[in-house]
Amino acid sequence: MLFEYTRRRGIRSPVTDAPTFRVGKLAQARTADHTGIDVSHLIDRSYNYHSSRELHWHLADRLGLAPAAVMVREAAAAA
């Protein structure tokens, strides 16, 4: 399953002092038979992710799938 997300600015992590981000919108990516279904309700959008890898693992866990079955990419910015 391929998911696309839009990034919102987060805060600096109090633990690692690294920048974080929040997910603005999460959608199942468009395919020949799907039209980009909004699935933002599957995650806590107030959570501050440290990386897209963390989001990837979170989604796999949430959906009960092996991490290899889930792909995550940041949606292209609108021009």
Q: What is the mean pLDDT of the chain?
A: 87
pTM equals 0.81
Mean pLDDT of 3-13: 89
Q: Decide if pLDDT at 17 tops 90.
A: no
- Neighbouring residues of 34: CB distance < 8 A, sequence distance ≥ 6: 28
Name the pLDDT band for 61 (thresholds 50, 70, 90). Answer: very high
How far lies 41's CA from each of 44, 64, 68, in Å? 7, 16, 22
Q: How far apart are CA 5 and CA 9, in angstroms?
A: 13
Give the position of tokens 């699935």: 39
